[in-house]
Amino acid sequence: MVITILAVNLFTPATEVSSSGKGILDQVGGFLKKYPAASVQVRGHTDSTGSESTNRTVSESGRIG
């Protein structure tokens, strides 16, 4: 089974979770608690918000926060 969650502006700024992003992550957490054998793949990208150097740092680190 593949579930795709498209979230625009989930993290703004990159180290903080927006209220809408928190709601999405809470739903994903609920799913994982219900189906603990499920595997998850997280993908993301930086956008043009913020400075080029900040976006590069976030993108290259591969993680948020």
**Residue 47's pLDDT is what?**
67
Q: Which residue has better confidence, 23 or 45?
A: 23
**Residue 49's pLDDT is what?**
72
Q: Which residue has better confidence, 26 or 48?
A: 26
Q: Which residue has better confidence, 21 or 7?
A: 21
pLDDT of 30 over the 90 cut: yes
Per-residue burial over 10-46, b if 16 or more Cβ lie within 10 Å, else e, is: bbeebeeeeeebeeeeeeeeeeeeeeeeeeeeeeeeb
Q: What pLDDT band is residue 33 in, cutting at 50, 70 and 90?
A: very high
